[in-house]
Amino acid sequence: MSVRRAEFHLPDPAATEAFGRRLARALRPGDVVLLSGDLGMGKTALARAVIQALAGRAIDAPSPTFNLVLPYDLPDFRLWHFDLYRLSGPGEVEELGFEEAAAEGVALVEWPDRLGDLAPPDAVRIAIEAAGDGRRLTVQATSGFMERLDDA
């Protein structure tokens, strides 16, 4: 499995939303997107932009910090938004239906370090970090996914 890496500069929240729309166009059932970064880096904002783009309209897409997972029945597939911040490890993640979500729809996962061995080897890994006045977003994914992202 060939893996590619790309970096993007996101100078403001509008750029994060635009990247979220682009990412949404590249997603297909079976994709797992792992969103990592410190608190306040924009993981939830990016996930919200993806969800709203796939819904085709502005919908309420709150952070699942307290629910742990929020499912969305979208026009083309079901998406699960996981926030694993409050979990201690993979055992608790299994109880949330992660494997079902990863197999049947799209899973967006914040704080993916809690997945341990449950993280699929072909997952799309997105790291967000501060960079000057904005954010640097690093995407690491299979060549096939990166081609879809390039075309999006």
For the chain, the structural domain boundaries read: 29-132
Candidates 41, 33, 36; CA nearest to 79 is 33
Q: What is the pLDDT of residue 116?
A: 87
Q: What are the C-alpha distances in Å from 25 to residues 10, 19, 65, 76, 94?
A: 18, 10, 25, 11, 28
CB 133 within 8 A of CB 7: no
Which residues, in sequence order, are bridge partners of residue 127? 36, 138
**From 3.40.50.300, 3.40.80.10, 3.30.565.10, 3.30.70.520, which CATH number describes the 29-132 domain?**
3.40.50.300
Look up the pTM and report it.
0.92
Find where tokens 């100078």 sit.
Answer: 11
Residue % of the chain over a pLDDT of 70: 97
Show Cβ contacts of residue 141 under 8 Å, excluding neighbours closer than 6 positions.
Answer: 3, 4, 122, 123, 124, 125, 149
User: What residues in the chain have per-residue pLDDT under 70?
Assistant: 62, 64-66
Q: What is the pLDDT of residue 37?
A: 95
Q: What is the pLDDT of residue 65?
A: 63
